[in-house]
Chain A
Amino acid sequence: MSIFNFLRARKKAPTASMAKERLQIIVAHERGQRDEPDYLPALQKELVAVISKYVKIDQEHVQVALENQGSCSILELNITLPDR
């Protein structure tokens, strides 16, 4: 039993690789947000407010993204309306 435990303990996955993986994901995500202009969250909030006047929707039903392609930027709005 004790020898078995000893062998198992040695085989435990190294935690540094978990740290690296998690960091790579969160850093990439945050870098993406960093390049967004400051007004996007406010724009999203106001859009939700306007649409809520007519249709019942939540914050997460309105997706706002700004994409840069060469010299032009595309503002992409994705509004999911609830099922009827």
Chain B
Amino acid sequence: MSKILVVTSGKGGVGKTTTSAAIGTGLALRGHRTVIVDFDVGLRNLDLIMGCERRVVYDFVNVINGDATLNQALIKDKRLENLYILAASQTRDKDALTLEGVEKVLTELAEQFEFVICDSPAGIEKGAHLAMYLADAAIVVTNPEVSSVRDSDRMLGLLSSKSKRAEEGREPISEHLLLTRYSPERVARGEMLSVEDVEEILSIQMIGVIPESQAVLKASNQGIPVILDDESDAGQAYSDAVDRLLGKEVPHRFLDVQKKGFLQRMFGGKE
């Protein structure tokens, strides 16, 4: 049984693409045949985060228009056997994605893959709507910051009313919250919304909390999904989130302030 999962947020720059890349890679690492689809037409970036930007020949819109077959457009990941990427088009035509086209391509992908991850563009316009319309599950990416939390609530409202599942009166999209750029130190100082605060405001379960981490930028610089950096806190936190997505019960890590050791305190040390 195939599952379509949308990674969305409303607000931009909160980590949707980083999350799509990490979760998709995590699922493939666990043996699930997975494809990550970039829906951000005109602002393609998943290819850079996955490190396959020079191997993009055909894209999502080419497949919709029949200029290429799906198998020609799918980019196989260099590192993992089970992982594929479908790049977004760089066209400036905002009507390049059509509901019929997206439905046709996603249905075809669902026949081949266990997980289809849809990396949504920011905003609540057509691209974001199409990314979530056919989803079975959603990961709403949120930063512990007022504008992001508010936009996430708006997105949750849209997920429950403007999807195919909602229109057909089927079981609603299962919603998960992923909190990124979390800083336990700032939470302890009362400067940042805590996990509990965000859960309470949005009344939704947390699937993962990714700490603010230097590993994320390091990974994107290299075009390696951060989940493959299994020594980093962010990588491990994403790994836990993937396990939870697959139904495992895993306690949250990295929620408490890390005590600095004596040497670290004396010499600063690295993060």
Contacts and interface: CB of A to CB of B under 8 A. Distances in A.
B187 interface: yes
B76 interface: no
Nearest to A26: B150
Contacts of B200: 20
Most chain B beta carbons < 10 A, residue from A20, A26, A31: A20
A74 B151 CA distance: 30
Given A22-B146, A26-B150, A14 B201 contact: no
Contacts of B150: 23, 26-27, 30
A20 to B, nearest CB: 5
Interface in A26-59: 26-27, 30-31, 34
Contact of B157 (A16, A17, A26, A34): A34
Contact of A31 (B149, B157, B190, B193): B157
B149 A16 contact: no
Given A23-B146, A23-B201, A24-B201, A16 B153 contact: no
16 contacts: A14-B189, A16-B190, A19-B146, A19-B197, A20-B200, A20-B201, A22-B146, A23-B146, A23-B149, A23-B150, A23-B201, A27-B149, A27-B150, A27-B153, A30-B157, A31-B157
